[in-house]
Amino acid sequence: MASELQVGVGKIVSVNPATGEILRELECADESEVLAAVERAHIAQSAWADLGLEQRIAVLREFQRNLYARKSEVAAAITREVGKPLAEALVTEVLVVLDAARFLIHNAFSLLRDEPVPHGNLVTKLKRGWLVREPHGVIGIISPWNYPFSIPATETLAALVAGNAVVLKPSELTPLVALELASLLHAAGVPEDVFQVVVGEGPAGAALVHSPINKLVFTGSVGTGKRIAAAAADRLLPVVLELGGKDPMLVLDDADVDVASSAAVWGAFVNAGQACLSVERCYVHRSLCESFAQACAEKTKKLRVGNGIDPHTDVGPMIQERQVRIVESHVEDAKSRGARVLTGGTRMPELGPNYYAPTVLADVTHDMRIMREETFGPVLPVMACNDVDEAVGLANDSEYGLAASVWTRDPKRGERVARRIHAGTVMVNDVISCFGISEAPHGGVKASGVGRTHGRFGLEEMVRVKYLDTDRLPGMKKVWWHGYGEDFRRQMEGFLDMQFASNLTARLRGALRATGTLWRSRL
């Protein structure tokens, strides 16, 4: 059974990770083809922007209708190429994109329209100011394999509705899902040159980074993100970087063990743990830790592992054997340092080379790789803590800061703890679902990246903000123009006193001195 991406000369082969079946062979785009795609996008973008926001929203509405009609077909395509269960493909991919379209359809007009800017300074009261939001031009998107539909689609929809053209370079492991997205967008009315997919490996992504795009949105590893940031800095290319996480789950002493353990199991094993928002570290109050860990282990043992196309499957395969080896090495390191394996901890060769048993570890410490490096696999490490302060300190003791969760029967207490955690998102009594809240921004701090996608802030990333100012009296020379002198200096001092002096008398005296500016001679 094939277990790795198959690469030929100038070609990649999409492989079903559950079965090893070859799905399709595709030609890799070379540098000249990537540059040609970007050039076509630049040419087509102006007409797309001139189409107007209402017409672009109408295209998104048609896209939403088409995606809903083909929801099962799209979910099956995702499952074949990634391996995740069909139910997860529907909920974490198709549903997320349908709702992202809903958010933009309902809110893009109010968020992108010109915004008046009030003028508080008295000297500028005879002006009108506006914030004008304009498309960047061509947005380059480099997307990952773990959510090959929802991640690029949500970013693309925001870019398109703002008037940009998009060139998408998907992961070489999941190109077919990206082509499915292109088919849906083109059928909805997006011109082919306004949204293009360039298929390839690293060199195609590098060519896109160095091409004359106007902004780049990248989701992937910290190492690649840093290299992209360095390349972008060379020409001041604006970027949005989502670089993964090591998300902590804090279970306080008053938490509901049954509810929190179910959340931990789902949060650690959804998409076989291959999610940047996965629960990768679990800190549990010592009084609950053993019962919590045992509850997690018992629930994990009931999970059905297999081909995601089987509707009874709870956990599918990992994307490729290379990723399995990383998970295996983290678990073996933890075991060698004293961690207990409560369940799992082994491959499942009877199912294929890409399967690893969902694993629960107890007695873990921060000396172990499993608590410091991104595992990106089906492992739930549980560590005991003495109090909230210790749990918060351990949660913040990480180079990552994407998301976190706090579990308690007291929501107000949970919110107080959440404010102390260094992360882009903190959920109280839930995990991961923040990605499906279209109004909420997605992104992290520290090594988890810069910028945001989704919601108002994600849409703001897709535009340049221009300040436009118009004077209401175009025939009048401004009082601050040349023609200085001692009198003008005194008048300006009076003007400052009129606005900022601490008592009324000083303000009135200042106003009298400032009146001379109205008839002084100017060049």
- What's 324's domain CATH number? 3.40.309.10
CATH number of domain containing 153: 3.40.605.10
Domain co-membership, 73 together with 179? yes
Domain co-membership, 482 together with 495? yes
- What are the two backbone dihedrals, phi and then psi, of residue 60, each rounded to the nearest 5 degrees? -65, -35
Domain co-membership, 178 together with 322? no
Domain co-membership, 253 together with 296? yes
Q: The domain containing residue 502 runs over which residues? A: 477-518
* Count of helix runs (H) and strand runs (E) in the chain: 17, 19
Give the integer Cα–Cα distance in Å for 199 and 211: 15
Domain co-membership, 233 together with 275? no
Could you tell me if residue 471 is inside a domain? no
**Measured CA angle at 379 (ends 378, 383), to 5 deg:** 160
Could you tell me if residue 16 is inside a domain? no
Give the integer Cα–Cα distance in Å for 83 and 89: 9
Single pTM value for the model: 0.95
Could you tell me if residue 159 is inside a domain? yes
Nearest of 13, 19, 15 to residue 313 by alpha carbon: 19
To the query of whether residue 242 is one of the catalytic residues in this protein, the response is yes
Domain co-membership, 265 together with 188? no
Could you tell me if residue 20 is inside a domain? no
Active-site residue identified among 180, 242, 280, 461 = 242
> What contacts 351, CB < 8 A, 6 or more positions away?
305, 306, 317
Could you tell me if residue 339 is inside a domain? yes
CA distances from residue 176 to 25, 31, 98, 441 in whole angstroms, order as listed:
10, 21, 19, 27
Length of the chain: 523
pLDDT of residue 201: 95
Q: What is the mean pLDDT of each run of 10 residues along the chain (523 residues)?
A: 43 96 97 98 98 98 98 98 98 98 98 95 90 98 98 98 98 98 98 98 96 98 96 96 97 98 98 98 98 98 98 98 98 98 98 98 98 98 98 98 98 98 98 97 98 98 97 89 92 94 96 87 81
Domain co-membership, 75 together with 193? yes
pLDDT of residue 168: 98
To the query of whether residue 276 is one of the catalytic residues in this protein, the response is yes
Domain co-membership, 60 together with 205? yes
Domain co-membership, 278 together with 221? no
pLDDT of residue 6: 39
Domain co-membership, 50 together with 183? yes
Domain co-membership, 238 together with 252? no
Domain co-membership, 146 together with 44? yes
Could you tell me if residue 10 is inside a domain? no
Active-site residue identified among 28, 276, 289, 434 = 276
Nearest of 298, 292, 305 to residue 346 by alpha carbon: 305
Instruction: Output the six-digit token pair for 518.
Output: 């109205």
Q: What is the count of structural domains for the chain? A: 3
Could you tell me if residue 214 is inside a domain? yes
